[in-house]
Amino acid sequence: MPPHSPEQIQGFIMEQLSSSPSSFNVATPQGLRVLVASSEAHPLIKTGGLADVAASLPTALRQLGCDARLILPAYPRAARQLREPKPVCELRMPGCRANVRILAGLHPDHDLPVYLVDAPESFAREGNPYTDLSGRDWGDNAERFLLFCRVIAVIAQGLPAMNWQPEVLHGNDWQTGLAPALLQDVPNRPATVFTIHNLAYQGLFDRATYERIGLPPALWSLSGLEFHQRLSFIKGGIVFSDRVNTVSPTYAAEVRTPRFGCGLDGLLRQIGGRFSGILNGIDYEVWNPDSDPLILQRYNREHFGLKVENKLDLQREFGLPRSEDAFVLGYIGRLVEQKGVDLILAILPELLRDPRVQLIVVAAGERLTEQAARHCCEISAPNSACLLVMTNAAHRIEAGATCF
């Protein structure tokens, strides 16, 4: 994937704001105030690629001269890593028994301002932001992320204690989808952009949940948040945002088809020119093997042979037979059918009959798929390793594996 180049970022801004109802001048991103809202951001908290984008995109925007800032829930891991944290205000929010604090600080790796929504009853939970230790969704996810969206909407309108109001609110995935809906009738609201990173995860809840959490009754309609008699967080982001995009032009075309649209293909076709695909980028400074501090041996295209040292180190770390000639397959990601993991598992027994082939799986996901992956690794021991947790091994696996 390409990096977040200045041209790409400027194109992102111009495309998203070209039809915005806001009155500010978008001829240049210089000084543009942007609030990026996400439920995760690397390294504060991460379960997937959303976290990488949520950290790197606002950083790249700031390099262009935008005043970009990031907001996410104050998970314990995130709060521990925030640099120079300080409380800036307290908010009384509907359905929340205690006041919600807003903590301001800096990203651990960049001079990126970060706001954390400090609501311990909702977010002070170790581990995965969305599921408990058994892998099941937290039972109060609707309440948790409605609270997050309410706070986003309040900050988007400007708080005197913060002395800052965004001109653009950029939401990401279903956990932020209700913020544009809550802002729909607010005067002088910011322009709203909503990015779909994975349409399969929609934030769906039953009608009883909708009534319990106190959303306006008028939003329960086919033109609002109702989706086949269920509340859809992601539909809120699609319907009520000024512009909607997804992570590549190809994916944008795919989700407009019944096969990949997860029931929302008709809506995405209906919104027409408001919807587009913009290719995700990566940070070449972070992922450059010639300067990566997280791998044993740095290398480049002129000294590609040095890569083998990372393979040997990877084999040592995961308890595999050390061999320069081994063909090492690496997989990092969620163990869910949507990622094609069923296709991987189907071919692995045949692949792993060859003793020269090795497998490293670092992932977590659906319980049955985890069990299948673990079983596959057990029967092919010692040529495979399966670690069913998300770790920081991505750099080492990509540097050491023959095939990713």
What totals of helices (H) and strands (E) does the chain contain, helices first? 14, 14
Q: What gap in Å lies between CA 170 and CA 379, rounded to an integer?
A: 46
What string of H, E and C letters represents the secondary structure of 134-171?
CCCECCCHHHHHHHHHHHHHHHHCCECCCCECCCEEEE
85 preceded by a cis bond (ω within 30 of 0): no
Please give the DSSP secondary-structure letter assigned to residue 175: G
Model confidence over 104-138: pLDDT tens digits?
999 999 999 999 999 999 999 877 899 887 778 99
Q: What gap in Å lies between CA 295 and CA 286, rounded to an integer?
A: 12
Within 10 Å of residue 94's Cβ, how many Cβ atoms?
10
Confidence at residue 61, expressed as pLDDT on a 0 to 100 scale: 93
Q: What gap in Å lies between CA 174 and CA 197, rounded to an integer?
A: 9
Residue 386's closest CA among 368, 367, 359, 365? 359
E strand or H helix at 252: helix 249-254
Q: Quick check: 199 and 209 in contact, CB under 8 A?
A: no
Residue 273's closest CA among 242, 251, 248? 242
Q: What gap in Å lies between CA 199 and CA 269, rounded to an integer?
A: 14
With 0-12 / 13-18 / 19 or more C-beta atoms within 10 angstroms meaning exposed / middle / buried, residue 147 is buried
Residue 47's closest CA among 338, 391, 401? 391
Confidence at residue 26, expressed as pLDDT on a 0 to 100 scale: 44
Confidence at residue 180, expressed as pLDDT on a 0 to 100 scale: 97
Give me the residues of the chain with pLDDT under 50, please.
Answer: 1-8, 10, 16-27
Please give the DSSP secondary-structure letter assigned to residue 403: B
Residue indicated by tokens 């802002």: 183
Query: Which residues sit opposite 385 in a β-bridge?
Result: 360
**What is this structure's pTM?**
0.84
Strands 327-335 and 230-232 come out as: unpaired
E strand or H helix at 15: helix 6-17
Model confidence over 197-226: pLDDT tens digits?
999 999 999 999 999 999 999 999 999 999
Strands 113-118 and 230-232 come out as: unpaired
Confidence at residue 226, expressed as pLDDT on a 0 to 100 scale: 97
Confidence at residue 27, expressed as pLDDT on a 0 to 100 scale: 44
Residue 204's closest CA among 184, 178, 170, 241? 178
Q: What gap in Å lies between CA 93 and CA 151, rounded to an integer?
A: 8
Please give the DSSP secondary-structure letter assigned to residue 264: -
Residue indicated by tokens 């990401």: 172
Listed in sequence order, the residues at least 6 apart from 134 whose beta carbon sits closer than 8 Å to its beta carbon are none
Confidence at residue 346, expressed as pLDDT on a 0 to 100 scale: 85
Q: What gap in Å lies between CA 97 and CA 89, rounded to an integer?
A: 17
Confidence at residue 96, expressed as pLDDT on a 0 to 100 scale: 86
Confidence at residue 21, expressed as pLDDT on a 0 to 100 scale: 42
Complete domains list, the chain, with CATH: 6-277 (3.40.50.2000), 304-400 (3.40.50.2000)
Confidence at residue 20, expressed as pLDDT on a 0 to 100 scale: 43
Confidence at residue 11, expressed as pLDDT on a 0 to 100 scale: 53
Listed in sequence order, the residues at least 6 apart from 192 whose beta carbon sits closer than 8 Å to its beta carbon are 168, 169, 171, 179, 180, 183, 240, 241, 242, 243
Please give the DSSP secondary-structure letter assigned to residue 119: -
E strand or H helix at 238: helix 233-240
Confidence at residue 49, expressed as pLDDT on a 0 to 100 scale: 85
